[in-house]
Structure 1
Amino acid sequence: MYDFHTHFIPPEVITWLKDHQDTVNAKWIKKEENKDDFLVVNEKWGFELKNAFTDGTLYLNEQENAGVSHSLLSPIPQLFMYDFPEEITTDISTVYNRSLALWTKSTAQKLSALGTVPLTNPEKAAQVLREAMNLGLKGVIIGPGLPEHMLSDEFFTPFFEEANKQKAIVFIHPLLSEDPRLKRRMMPNLIGVPWETTVCATDLLLSGHVDKYPNVKILFAHGGGFLPYQIGRLDKGYEQWQIVSSKLQAKPSEYLSRFWYDSVLWSQESLDFLIKSVGEDRVVPGSDYPFDLCVWPPLGNNQKGAHSLLD
């Protein structure tokens, strides 16, 4: 079984955080006696820093116990560092990518990895992506854009041109929605996270982005958010409004199979619908391990999707 959505923090990255603790406002907070410390960077999205995030031996043991034969590791979104100066984001990206490359090279049968990039500077992001691929990484994980830019904006052209050239996997992982209506009952995580993916995925689809960069392997987290479920509405808009259809060569539903989606849906019925909507070869097993809302072990064991993404 594969796992295409799982996160890890190498020891070198923890050391970097401690060395730059004041610069990035990193805090280790004890919230409950029976839990590990919570890591909070710059007063943003905190999370329990479980041992499985940082202990490679424990991670591999848990992987084996769950029946996962190969995992595609990703950096955690809390450490994308997009709200810091380029120098900081580039520095932690370099440390993260090199350390993941070293570990996965020594355990290549069980692990491969994606890197992270300083997305706020697309030219630098392109350079870091190229370096990461040269190190043996499969691509990168990025957020769904920046506060002032959607991923389809020309601002990101240098990055996507390099990703297209490298035929890289670009795993788009949401960040917490800042919609003020969601600030209760864990809704930023429960529905804000898939909503951010929905907005990003819809924008990329309607912009004709995949026609412009056909070699980029875009993977959406959490089953693509709400996009597959509402694709009929997009098709109707395509028929009704020229502003929706102007950059597309076919109706939106025909573009669904140009992306990849993980199986982090917590529902077999939802996963079955996703596979029916986008094709078996476009859905990959994922867990989101070891975050609290992980599906562990991954739901489904779709080999066709795994091989199409890695081919």
Structure 2
Amino acid sequence: MTVVDVHAHVFPSISRAESRILHAEDGPWLREDDAGAGMMMSGSAEYRPVAAALWDPQVRLNEMDRQGVDIQVVSSTPLMFGYAADPGRAAEWCELVNDRILKMCATAPDRLVPLCQVPLQDTELACEEVSRAMANGHAGVHIGNHVGDRGLDDGRIREFLTHCAHENAAVFVHPWDMLARERMPRYMLPWLVGMAAETQLTILGLILSGAFEQLPTSLRLCFAHGGGSFPYLLGRADNAWHRRDLVREDSPKPPSAYLDRFHLDSAVFDPGAFRLLTDVMGPERIMLGTDYPFPLGEQEHGALVRQSHLTPAERDLVLGKNALRFFGIEGLATA
């Protein structure tokens, strides 16, 4: 059984000077300290302490071996997106980041599968970069769930998603720049509350706007963190669609009719929540995700799935088979 983790972040070695490609003052870069420690930086400000697994592929591979993970699908840390920057600078930045991630993954191409990032604030540049990255060996693209006040249902972003479908690029969607941060100043509440709300907002936005009626059915979308609050509140959304024409004015079918248009990862951390997730989506639409290597991620990789109510065959789907198919990497499966 090949175990594939689809939600694993990297921050490749990028210097302060290189960060100025994106922004002269507060571009993101990596300060590598002693003994495998480091700091994610935003200009001269310290953003978050990190360890070498975030940028050192050999440390990562050793940890994967310890955790029993065969393959990681790796994506940049959302701090690196650069959506607020000038589009031209963001395009140059994304090219640097993507090439650096590709170099990391080249250390073990049978185990580290790269996703690119794009300057999503500019549709043409984003399409150009995802095409370039896919030609160079990336398996798909990692995007934030919104650009400013534009969600994935925005017409220009839908154009980009359509282009991804035509390029056969899988799309992994991660929440970021969380709403109402001013009301959540403490206790990491933007991560605990805001991320879940952002993902639900994005999924329902795609459904209720009618975007899924226009996007190609070949588009492969996966949302992080078990879909946030979406699975738990799907019944509320369905009830609203049936009872209020304001809810259903642009969506010809209730929200539950669109569950076959996307996947979710398994990062929910609780057996009851995981049971609900599988009840709502079905095990064929869920992939192992750990949020590695950050402290809020799953510390014993795949334990929630392995110890769950699923049958052995269903566990195999979630632990690896779904991901091998979703990212088109069946050739990397172990015997």
TM-score (norm 2): 0.84
> 2:144 aligns to what?
143
> 1:114 aligns to what?
115
Contact 2:36 2:52 in 1 (8 A): no
Which of these residues, 196, 205, 208, is aligned with residue 206 of structure 1? Answer: 208
Which of these residues, 183, 187, 198, is aligned with residue 196 of structure 1? Answer: 198
Which of these residues, 196, 216, 220, is aligned with residue 217 of structure 1? Answer: 220
> 1:175 aligns to what?
176
State the alpha-carbon separation in 1 of the partners of residues 293 and 273 from structure 2: 22
Which of these residues, 253, 272, 294, is aligned with residue 297 of structure 2? Answer: 294
State the alpha-carbon separation in 2 of the partners of residues 181 and 193 from structure 1: 14
Which of these residues, 248, 260, 263, is aligned with residue 266 of structure 2? Answer: 263
Shift in Å, 1:150: 1.6
Contact 1:104 1:113 in 2 (8 A): yes
> 2:312 aligns to what?
none
Contact 1:119 1:125 in 2 (8 A): yes
> 1:76 aligns to what?
77
Alignment of 1:239-250 (within 5 A): 239-250=242-253
Alignment of 1:48-67 (within 5 A): 48-67=49-68
* 2:185 alignment partner AA: K
Further displaced range: 46-55 or 36-45:
36-45
Residue aligned with 2:113, SS: strand
State the alpha-carbon separation in 1 of the partners of residues 288 and 25 from structure 2: 33
User: 1:40-70 deviations in whole A, cap 9, x for unaligned?
Assistant: 3269992223211111110111111110001
Residue aligned with 2:205, SS: helix
State the alpha-carbon separation in 1 of the partners of residues 255 and 19 from structure 2: 46
Alignment of 1:154-173 (within 5 A): 154-173=155-174
Contact 1:37 1:48 in 2 (8 A): yes
State the alpha-carbon separation in 1 of the partners of residues 37 and 161 from structure 2: 38
CA RMSD of aligned residues (A): 2.6
State the alpha-carbon separation in 1 of the partners of residues 67 and 106 from structure 2: 22
Residue aligned with 2:141, SS: strand
Alignment: residue pair count: 308
* 2:56 alignment partner AA: D
Residue aligned with 2:253, SS: coil
Which of these residues, 226, 229, 233, is aligned with residue 229 of structure 2? Answer: 226
> 1:126 aligns to what?
127
Q: Is 2:258 the counterpart of 1:279? A: no
Residue aligned with 2:146, SS: coil
Q: Specify whether residues 243 and 19 from structure 1 end up closer, same or farther in structure 2 by C-alpha distance, changes over 3 A only.
A: closer
State the alpha-carbon separation in 2 of the partners of residues 83 and 20 from structure 1: 13
Q: Is 2:270 the counterpart of 1:253? A: no
Q: Specify whether residues 10 and 42 from structure 1 end up closer, same or farther in structure 2 by C-alpha distance, changes over 3 A only.
A: closer
Percent of aligned pairs with the same residue? 27
Q: Specify whether residues 103 and 54 from structure 1 end up closer, same or farther in structure 2 by C-alpha distance, changes over 3 A only.
A: closer
Higher strand share: 2
Q: Specify whether residues 24 and 159 from structure 1 end up closer, same or farther in structure 2 by C-alpha distance, changes over 3 A only.
A: farther
* 2:115 alignment partner AA: L
Q: Is 2:327 the counterpart of 1:310? A: yes
Residue aligned with 2:151, SS: coil
User: 1:67-115 deviations in whole A, cap 9, x for unaligned?
Assistant: 0001100011010011211122111210121222344345222111110
Structure 2: which 5+ residue stretches go unaligned? Answer: 306-314, 329-335
State the alpha-carbon separation in 2 of the partners of residues 106 and 34 from structure 1: 21
Q: Specify whether residues 88 and 22 from structure 1 end up closer, same or farther in structure 2 by C-alpha distance, changes over 3 A only.
A: closer
State the alpha-carbon separation in 1 of the partners of residues 25 and 213 from structure 2: 38
Q: Specify whether residues 122 and 161 from structure 1 end up closer, same or farther in structure 2 by C-alpha distance, changes over 3 A only.
A: same
State the alpha-carbon separation in 2 of the partners of residues 253 and 304 from structure 1: 24
Shift in Å, 1:282: 0.6
User: 1:235-288 deviations in whole A, cap 9, x for unaligned?
Assistant: 111111223223334321121232110111111221121011011111000111
Further displaced range: 33-42 or 94-103:
33-42
Contact 2:140 2:327 in 1 (8 A): no
Shift in Å, 1:124: 0.6
Alignment of 1:15-94 (within 5 A): 17=18, 20=21, 23-26=24-27, 36-41=37-42, 46-94=47-95
